[in-house]
Amino acid sequence: MNWQTLAQEVIDGKELTNEEAMLILTTSDDELLPLLHGAFTIRKHYYGKKVKLNMIMNAKSGYCPEDCGYCSQSSKSTAPIEKYPFISKEEILAGAKRAFENQIGTYCIVASGRGPTRKDVNVVSEAVEEIKEKYGLKVCACLGLLKNEQAEQLKNAGVDRYNHNLNTSERHHDYITTSHTYEDRVNTVEVVKKHGISPCSGAIVGMKETKEDVIDIARALRRLDADSIPVNFLHAIDGTKLEGTKELNPRYCLKVLALFRFVNPTKEIRISGGREVNLGSLQPLGLYAANSIFVGDYLTTEGQEVNKDYLMLQDLGFEIELAEKQAELFNV
């Protein structure tokens, strides 16, 4: 396969066939660098060499009634994690200040649970209004299944983006969780779109799915028209259903990122949870396909040291994409 030719065809509007998509995931490791060069051709066309940085604030940990097999916060999990109720507005604002000072463009307020209470939405809304005024950050909320009136309130408060991952293909969904449906997840993304909030939705790879499932979720996110697509690689946690699962290697993870770029050429592709564990020393290569990463810790697992991320971007010659107020502060 001539990956450069295929990349240009994708830029010109071509949609991959199933055969081409499968070839990306199954191509020999000898073809990995040419494949990544093709993915980078698409990435550079739409995003240049800019990288978007994201930071998570875990606003509520544990106490979740759902049974998601990958999650240490699930009702079925026995993982020894820190548990606490929804944090205060002041704590959310303190996290936003750290994000602003560390050149993080998107601040992600994440809470465990099936969906937010009225009080939760009020706290987030009040915090976001102040974040916008003080720091001008892009704010992404991730609070679970969302109702129309909640989406409207968050939009009015200034929430830019809402994350609700599809996680896996529709046919594999019931293996991962049974306490909500695949359609429940799709509906939440449609609700936020209806209210003018940018949709963020992605996948978790490495949960005993097939390569066909990976292709299906990449295509489903294209149909859903998600603006931002976080690609997570399973970091199996002891005490969860998927404890001990280790199906991934760094080269396959890079092929997955290339697939998501070829299938969703114009979208923000974010290397998310599990990148440090699964990509290892090949993490920098992932940014030739992706244009966004999380910086710092995740929900219940640790990320790479922040200074290593900045050094990685510097060594790559990539440019951090700042919010307007940050650009003024850092004289960019």
Residue 88's domain comprises 16-324
pLDDT value at residue 306: 77
pLDDT value at residue 268: 98
205 within some domain: yes
The candidate with the shortest Cα–Cα distance to 137, out of 117, 169, 161, is 161
pLDDT digits over 25-81, tens only? Answer: 999 999 999 999 999 999 999 999 999 999 999 999 878 988 898 998 887 888 888
Task: Output the CA–CA distances (angstroms, integers) from residue 305 to 256, 297, 320, in the order listed.
Answer: 24, 9, 17
Q: Which of 43, 108, 253, 275 is catalytic?
A: 108
331 within some domain: no
Query: Which residues in the chain show pLDDT less than 50?
Result: none
pLDDT value at residue 332: 56
Whether residue 303 contacts residue 297, with contact meaning beta carbons closer than 8 Å, is answered with yes
Question: How is residue 191 written in tokens?
Answer: 């609700």
Q: Which of 43, 140, 161, 261 is catalytic?
A: 140
Q: Which of 68, 161, 185, 253 is catalytic?
A: 68
Alpha-carbon gap, residue 187 to 149, rounded angstroms:
14
168 within some domain: yes
Alpha-carbon gap, residue 243 to 265, rounded angstroms:
33
180 within some domain: yes
pLDDT value at residue 62: 79
Q: Which of 185, 222, 270, 275 is catalytic?
A: 270
Residue 274: φ, ψ to 5°: 85, 5
pLDDT value at residue 23: 98
pLDDT value at residue 303: 61
Q: How many domains does the chain have?
A: 1
Q: Which of 64, 142, 161, 275 is catalytic?
A: 64
Per-residue burial over 129-162, b = 16 or more CB atoms within 10 Å of its CB, e = otherwise: ebbbeebbbbbbbbbbbbeeebbebbbebbbbbb
Instruction: Fill in the amino acid letter for 330.
Output: F
pLDDT value at residue 331: 63
Q: Which of 200, 253, 261, 275 is catalytic?
A: 200
pLDDT value at residue 37: 98
Name the pTM for this structure: 0.95
Q: Which of 43, 71, 261, 275 is catalytic?
A: 71
Task: Output the CA–CA distances (angstroms, integers) from residue 277 to 60, 82, 137, 296, 302, in the order listed.
Answer: 24, 21, 29, 14, 10
11 within some domain: no
Secondary structure in 3-state letters for the chain? CCHHHHHHHHHCCCCCCHHHHHHHHHCCHHHHHHHHHHHHHHHHHHHCCEEEEEEEEEEEECCCCCCCCCCCCCCCCCCCCCCECCCCHHHHHHHHHHHHHCCCCEEEEEECCCCCCHHHHHHHHHHHHHHHHHCCCEEEEECCCCCHHHHHHHHHHCCCEEECCCECCCCCHHHHCCCCCHHHHHHHHHHHHHCCCEEECCEEECCCCCHHHHHHHHHHHHHHCCCEEEEEECCCCCCCCCCCCCCCCHHHHHHHHHHHHHHCCCCEEEECCCHHHHHHHHHHHHCCCCCEEECCCCCCCCCCCHHHHHHHHHHHCCEEECCHHHHHHCCC
Let me know if 142 is a catalytic residue: no
Alpha-carbon gap, residue 95 to 55, rounded angstroms:
9
CATH code at position 236: 3.20.20.70
9 within some domain: no
309 within some domain: yes
2 within some domain: no
